[in-house]
A = this chain, B = another copy of it.
Amino acid sequence: MPTRHPSAPPSPDGHLLHPIVRKLSTYAHLDAGERAALAGLSAGGQRVEGRSDLLVEGAAPDCAVLVVEGIACRYRHRPNGARQITAYLLPGDLCDPDVVHLSRMTHSVGTIGPCRIVRIPREALADLTERHPGIARALRHAKLAEEETTREWVMNVGCRSAIERVSHLLCELHERLRIVGWATKAGYDLPLTQQDVADTTGLSNVHVNRVLRQLRLMRLVEVGGKRVDILDLPGLRAVAEFQPDYLRPTSAESIPG
């Protein structure tokens, strides 16, 4: 049983109920006008079903994509059919406004579960960042965090064991969802299948299942029914060697411009 209905606002604190406002506020100070502008973006939007593509490899996209609700991912298929997920897009994440300017996407972006998204035309985005330097600064910072996250993933699949990889993924999603108000200390809703976790961590779905069982037996975390219940956060982070630094850079203001 989910703790909160997906369409209910995460919290009753005005603009902060919009995940992108919450997220960008952690990176740079936003004035009232900037918060309002972002909130305006998040309003409305388009409902998209789970397991559907938002941007496909090879296409020439003309819009950025803001995830307002739900979880999406960047992924690619190998010729042999194997899939690798290279990033998750959580509420408040803006699917790379720059990459989107490339004439050919080298990977696809698709939803995991049902999502609410906003497509933002290139010009509207440029206009927004020109008018609101705080937003521009925060977006640059968010992008840095995203790059660090990708490097962390290289670290994860490159030199950690199965249980460490899965734990690390669960910790990262927990931390990122907490920032935007979609997770509590106790856990979070997660629409991923075990196959998705496998395609993220470079493991087989069978082995992911075994690792999740082990984590449950270790009384660290229980994953099941589209829900993650965290029993022992310090313990889980210890197993994962999780250092949240890369998600929350310490000095947003040091980036000029």
Contacts and interface: CB of A to CB of B under 8 A. Distances in A.
Given A102-B251, A106-B246, A150 B150 contact: yes
A148 B101 CA distance: 13
Contacts of A150: 147, 150-151, 154
Given A74-B151, A102-B249, A107-B151, A126 B84 contact: no
A82 interface: yes
Given A104-B250, A144-B102, A241 B155 contact: no
Contact of A140 (B78, B98, B255): B98
A44 interface: no
Interface residues of A, number: 49
A225 interface: no
Interface centre among A148, A158, A199 (most CB of B within 10 A): A158
Tallying the copies of this chain within the complex gives: 2
A245 B103 CA distance: 11
B103 A249 contact: yes
A37 interface: no
A79 B241 contact: yes
Contact of A159 (B82, B96, B245, B250): B82
A12 interface: no
Contacts of A158: 84, 157, 200-202
Nearest to A104: B250
